[in-house]
Amino acid sequence: MVKCALVIIALLAVCAFAPPAAAQTYPSKPIRLLVGFPPGGGADIVARILMPELAESLQQQIVIDNRAGAGSAIASEIAAKAVADGYTLLLVSSAHAINAGLPRKLSYDALTDFAGVALVAGAPLVLVIYPGLPVKSVTELIEVARAKPGQLNFGSSGSGGTSHLAGELLKSMAKLNLTHVPYKGAPQALVDVISGQVQLLFPSLPTTLPQIKAGRVKALAVTSAKRAATLPEIPTVAESGVPGYEATNWYGMLAPAGTPQSIVQKLNGAVLRALRTAGVNDALVRQGAEPLPSTPADFERYLKSEIAKWTAVIREAGVRAD
């Protein structure tokens, strides 16, 4: 009897420390990674940078599925309704948080219908102005804007997008009266800043860097919490007279709500290993992005705070989606 009891205790101890069966067998087939933007966009680029390392770490094929439309809401809807088994994942950007605050009906809840896997990376926008505008800093820009209420225009790649809300956040925090001019995309908006049709813009840093280097636009500040590695001489908006200002394009991975925690933790470990590799790190930095490894819980808290922040900005500004 004593021997039997010892055997039972030993077996229970082994079971207590053994990984759950779901994690032991996962993944046994290819994984679909949904991206809510077309190939070549920021989210797609980040997904394709991660994909080879994730596939190697998980010893399974990762298939990127671009489902563009509705500001990435189409991909989010598909992911929210997918089976919660770890074989359908979603690479989201800051648009996921912004969509939650826009006044339109979504078929999913941006928080409760998903399980956080990991925050992956963040990339700043950059505040650029028409070179003929006689200001050299954000402080001087604020002074001019206050002296000429409503007379300065800021362009964006479309109503309700990150570049639009970055401008609305500046308006709110600096108490400015700026006129928003939406475009159908960032390239068109940038052309009009170069020509002086609009005075300022918040485009992504990687796509605007060549124009900054050529002197076609003047960079005043980056929108991240700290300076960008690719443009270290340019200060942040926060250190240029608007303390606490931050508006970045960030990227993270979600799974459908109910995905077993053992699988979520396995995916998180694979993402963190990928971000530690020189190849992934260097590729992200070349895109103007910074790796932002996190735990699943940290990413969920961050997503919640981003939704709250942008919802408040959207309501104050009366923003409508395109």
Q: Where in the chain is the domain with CATH 3.40.190.10?
A: 126-240
What pLDDT, in 10s, does the model give residues 210-223? Answer: 899 999 999 999 99
Q: How far is CA 317 from CA 120, 166, 287, 314, 320, in A?
A: 29, 12, 31, 5, 9
Count of residues in the chain: 322
Q: Which among 25, 24, 42, 43 is positioned nearest to 33, based on CA atoms?
A: 43
In angstroms, the CA 243 to CA 152 distance is 22
- pLDDT of 31: 98
- pLDDT of 322: 66
pLDDT > 60? residue 2: no
- Annotation: CATH topology of 29-123+249-317: D-Maltodextrin-Binding Protein; domain 2 (3.40.190)
- The pTM for the full model equals 0.86
Local structure of 100: helix, strand or coil: helix
Local structure of 293: helix, strand or coil: coil
Kindly report whether the peptide bond that precedes residue 187 is cis, defined as omega within 30 degrees of 0.
no
- pLDDT of 22: 60
- pLDDT of 185: 82
Q: Which among 170, 278, 297, 151 is positioned nearest to 223, based on CA atoms?
A: 170
In angstroms, the CA 29 to CA 17 distance is 26
What pLDDT, in 10s, does the model give residues 146-158? Answer: 999 999 999 998 8
Percent of the chain with pLDDT over 90: 80
- pLDDT of 14: 46
Q: Where in the chain is the domain with CATH 3.40.190.150?
A: 29-123+249-317
What pLDDT, in 10s, does the model give residues 162-195? Answer: 999 999 999 999 999 999 999 988 889 999 999 9
The distance in angstroms from the start CA to the end CA of the chain is: 74
In the CATH scheme, what is the code of domain 126-240?
3.40.190.10
Assess contact for 201 and 154: CB atoms under 8 A: yes
> In this predicted structure, which of 16-20, 220-224, 225-229, 292-296 has the lowest mean pLDDT?
16-20
